[in-house]
Structure 1
Amino acid sequence: MSALLEVKQLQTAYGASQVLFDISLAIKEGGVSTLLGRNGMGKTTTVRSILGLTRAHGGTVHFRGERIDQLSADRIARMGMAVVPEGRMIFPTLSVAENLRAFAAKRNASKDPWTLDRVYALFPRLAERARNMGNQLSGGEQQMLAIGRALMTNPHLLILDEATEGLAPLIREDIWNCLATLRAQGQSILVIDKYVQRLVQLADQHTIIERGKVVWSGDSAQLGADPSLWQRYIGV
């Protein structure tokens, strides 16, 4: 598999305060990777810098072979990146169907593009709630909607920031099963989450950051074999 996303020595600052120090990671085409670490260690800032929402001050980001770290967030999104943000950020006064239709795009020339029917097949609960407003959904349903909305753009890369944060265990299991289905279908994914036991089953590669620096990277076999890493850097 070729590199879909390649981040090299990424540096980002907020004003005079530098928060990312030479972050490097890569995601292969069709692969699933994670970004791990405790809260406040720079995971979301890394994602924001990749997406062009926070301007990088150094390093490079390449996506599908093109350098993107100086491009606008809108241009990067149109190249085929979609994010499920922390907090979900769905439109509260639009229905489920309207939330999904609002993001419909063809940024990936797949033979089996994401449509309303396909999202409803992945998340039957959304089909049941198609006419409900966003603010009438449970937290789990909102997360399903946020994932479905991102998929409606037909992205090359799906990014999930705190994929299962605050969800009930049964709903969290639904989300893990959804991501496993997407992986089996060849969707490239970057996941930020803290449930390492599930992530080592789902993902290929893992990157752990601490205070804005990469402190460990490796595959699932390596991470699964060393639970001391989980406690030291993730707190689980």
Structure 2
Amino acid sequence: MADTGALLEVEDIETCYGLSQVLFGLSLSVRSGEMVAMMGRNGMGKTTTIRSIMGLTPARAGSIRFGGMDVRKLASFRIAQLGIGLVPEGRQIFPNLTVRENLVAASGNRLGSADPWTIDKIHALFPRLDERGSNMGNTLSGGEQQMLAIGRALMTNPRLLILDEATEGLAPLIRDEIWNCLSMLKARGQSVLVIDKNIENLTRIADRHYIVERGRAVWSGTSAELIAEPDLQHRYLGV
């Protein structure tokens, strides 16, 4: 069922790597100002969904609409220019640029935000990036790199922020900092699509959730509905 009020609308997409099909008619949507979580065990198609949205691994069927525009066949850089900021799995910051240069390289306000992100605002969100401003990207800890990857994506002033494995592999204190950041972004009205495994934090701040199993969205609902179904969590999210 199409969500006519959606900022991002993914409908019945099918995506393959060569002859291996990964997504089988997957659908999801994100409305403006909404935080939506995508959950599921490893290898179920979550990252492939993100890659399909961004045009990195184009879907061979179905539709992907962003801001009312069909983007399924657009080049990745065109999709990014429309206002999607990606924090990819593995962070992929520029290792031979300083922290400040990483942020400046991504800065832009193509869509004319009235309250755009600036380096000062990123420093207020992540004070550690201010402290490490002259350090090269490859000297940062994993947590600092994740902060930088989020800051870099925000510097593009995206209409939609996508985070693939937002807190995976991070120390507990850094995880808390990332979750606090996401709470602040939600309060600011930022639209967010996030992949993570922390059900407790996701149900605390996300509006809706999709569970992905073998390339399909097998369940969707609100935080309250997910909390009320522990059997569902065990079936699709348990190790």
For Structure 1 versus Structure 2, the TM-score category normalised by the shorter chain is: over 0.9
Q: 1:202 aligns with which of 198, 205, 216?
A: 205
Deviation at 1:156, TM superposition (A): 0.4
**Distance of 2:160 and 2:218 partners within structure 1:** 24
TM-score by length of 1: 0.98
Cα RMSD after superposing both structures: 1.1
Deviation at 1:104, TM superposition (A): 0.6
**Distance of 1:233 and 1:116 partners within structure 2:** 40
- Name the aligned partner's letter for residue 115 of structure 2: D
Tell me, yes or no, if structure 1 residue 122 matches structure 2 residue 125.
yes
Aligned to 2:102: 99
Structure 1 residues 167-207: Cα deviation after superposition (integer angstroms, max 9, x where no partner): 01111000000000000001000000000110001111111
**Distance of 2:15 and 2:158 partners within structure 1:** 25
Aligned to 2:237: 234
Structure 1 residues 64-100: Cα deviation after superposition (integer angstroms, max 9, x where no partner): 0111101111110000001101111111111100000
Aligned to 2:40: 37
Deviation at 1:3, TM superposition (A): 1.1
Aligned to 2:8: 5
Deviation at 1:108, TM superposition (A): 3.3
**Distance of 2:201 and 2:183 partners within structure 1:** 10
SS of the residue corresponding to residue 146 of structure 1 reads helix
- Which stretch shifts more, 171-180 or 224-233? 224-233
Deviation at 1:13, TM superposition (A): 1.1
**Distance of 1:95 and 1:65 partners within structure 2:** 37
Structure 1 residues 13-53: Cα deviation after superposition (integer angstroms, max 9, x where no partner): 11222110110111010000011100000000000001111
Aligned length: 236
- Name the aligned partner's letter for residue 20 of structure 2: S
Q: 1:108 to 1:186 in 2, by over 3 A?
A: farther
**Distance of 1:107 and 1:158 partners within structure 2:** 15
TM-score by length of 2: 0.96
- Name the aligned partner's letter for residue 223 of structure 1: L
Aligned to 2:143: 140
Can you give the 5+ residue segments of structure 1 that lack an aligned partner in the other structure? none
Q: 1:180 aligns with which of 176, 179, 183?
A: 183
Aligned to 1:16: 19
Segments ≥4 residues shifted beyond 6 Å: none
Aligned to 2:51: 48
Tell me, yes or no, if structure 1 residue 152 matches structure 2 residue 155.
yes
8 Å contact kept, 1:9–1:21: yes
